[in-house]
Amino acid sequence: MKTIEHHHDTGIVATRVAKNSFFIFTSKLIEISANLVTTALIARYLGVTSFGLFAIATAISTALVPLADFGVERIICREVARNTRDASRYVGITMMLRLAFSAIILAAAAGILYGFSDGDATFKAAVMIAIAGDLAYSVGTTYLAVVRSFERMEYELIVNILYKMSFLLIIIAVRIFDWGFAGIFYGRLLSALLFVGLAGLVMYGKFVKPAFVYDKKIAKFIIGESFPLAVSSLFITLIFKVDIFVLKWLGTASDVALFDVPNRMIMQAQMLPVSFSMALFPIMSRFAGADADGARARFYNNAQKFLIVLAVPIAALLISSGRPFIVVLFGSEFAEAATSLGILAPTIVFLFLISFQNLFITAMNRQVLNTVSVTIALALNFILDILLVPILGYVGASIATVVSYFILLVTNSFFIRKFGIKNDQGMFFVKTIIAGFFMLAVMIINTENALTTLIVRSIGAGAIYLAAMFALRPLSAEDIEGIKAIVRRKKTVNASDPPMIRREHE
């Protein structure tokens, strides 16, 4: 009887998580597409120099958000996934802390920006509006993290569609009515407020009742658990943005734009592994206990193979079709950014794996290791930027980024071995990389029209990758079944898995 009930429960989990994976991937694909379109519209509207200033302003605001978020998104998702009974208390206290930190950051930013008499007033206002918008958006992502812990990702899809469509429409209006540089930032703020309103409505209306009773013990726990993630998130954000700050310091606004355009494209692609990893995160959190039968290692390795199979062709496609892609989206004024994109493309593979590694380490309650690895990578990135940017400009920043992300990947891999997970995927990785190299053959295809070149190269590269993977067969039949189990979630729950983990003090 237990066997029948177990298979029944496993089937329910498989169906639910497969559905959730579909919703979260659809949400991220829509988000990626919308972000590419809005970025292209903004870049074409502003031009290279003004887009560089836009990138600097948003880099400043993005770098400050982790200080208000203090890494709580993953912690609240993890804790509510483990125990929904105290969700209201955890969410209420979390939002109190978030509002307090956000107010402090806004006040400090205003004091610093307006404490100096020099500087362009329009740019200062843009930075403050950008900070307010990003802080509001991060509150919304915290709400959705709670919804995600209930494994109801269809609501995230709906909220993200409405948010992205609203921002796209606002940017179109900015261009039509020529509302200028500041109009873009007001548009970002307005759409962020819509996002947090919708996300809060879903969370409080469907899943968690409002409860704003302060509990010192829970607050201390949340801050203690989140602090390593806050430092890690801040440093990860700085890794993504430190090149822009150094380029602003040692280069020009044009250098910033030519680096930021491809960098934003890379960041959009990263949403795919993040969404995949977040869909698995509640389950990974339950692997934090004993692993007598090696289920955790099998789970990790199968998920990693799936990410590599996705990442390699994306990276190869960006190298082989990057120039026509940039010209089609951003215009010929940004064509030089193709050089930076070609250098940055391998980071797709690194970031796909790093995103999963970071969440896996957090699920194992060892988030401090994320802080250590990202600190090492950030320091290396900054040093390389200082050495290379004065000589090579945005190309030097691109090289520094690739090297630092690779070191971050290697450091995380070293830590993950401590959880009993060994990397025995050498031949699989080599064969997959070879299949990606074959895709570069399409670079010989050129037409007079950039769009035509992009379409032909993309179709050709995709066909070559599939043919190479079929010929080289990097995945065994067992690998394929393991990946299917990850995607479908059929082997997420088994008789040997530990029960839902409860907090010791509850």
pLDDT (tens digit per residue) in 242-267: 899 899 888 888 899 999 999 888 88
The 10s digit of each residue's pLDDT in 304-338 is 888 899 999 999 999 999 899 999 989 889 999 99
* For residue 51, pLDDT beyond 80: yes
In Å, the largest CA–CA distance within the chain is: 76
pLDDT band at 26 (very low <50, low <70, confident <90, very high): confident
Q: Exposed, middle or buried, 267 (CB in 10 Å: 0-12/13-18/19+)?
A: middle
Q: Which DSSP category does 418 fall into? A: G
Is 58 within 8 Å of 245 (Cβ atoms)? no
Instruction: Please enumerate in sequence order all residues whose Cβ is within 8 A of that of 383, keeping only pairs 6 or more positions apart, or say none.
Output: none
CA 265, CA 254: separation in Å to the nearest integer? 17
Is 443 within 8 Å of 314 (Cβ atoms)? no
CA 282, CA 450: separation in Å to the nearest integer? 44
Average pLDDT over residues 86-95: 79
For 105-130, give one letter per residue: b (16+ CB within 10 A) or e. Answer: bbeebeeebeeeeeeeeebbbbbbbb
CA 448, CA 446: separation in Å to the nearest integer? 7
Tokens matching residue 198: 């919708």
CA 90, CA 76: separation in Å to the nearest integer? 7
Best CA proximity match to 182, nearest among 134, 129, 135: 129
CA distances from 160 to 28, 35, 100 (A): 8, 11, 26
Neighbours of 444 (CB within 10 A): 9
CA 373, CA 137: separation in Å to the nearest integer? 27
pLDDT band at 36 (very low <50, low <70, confident <90, very high): confident
CA 160, CA 274: separation in Å to the nearest integer? 15
Query: Which has more confidence, 233 or 33?
Result: 33
pLDDT, residue 4, reads 40
Average pLDDT over residues 214-229: 74
* For residue 487, pLDDT beyond 70: no
Is 235 within 8 Å of 371 (Cβ atoms)? yes
CA 29, CA 275: separation in Å to the nearest integer? 10
CA 265, CA 245: separation in Å to the nearest integer? 18
CA 237, CA 240: separation in Å to the nearest integer? 5
* For residue 490, pLDDT beyond 60: no
Is 353 within 8 Å of 308 (Cβ atoms)? yes
Is 434 within 8 Å of 316 (Cβ atoms)? no
pLDDT, residue 499, reads 28
Q: Which DSSP category does 236 fall into? A: H
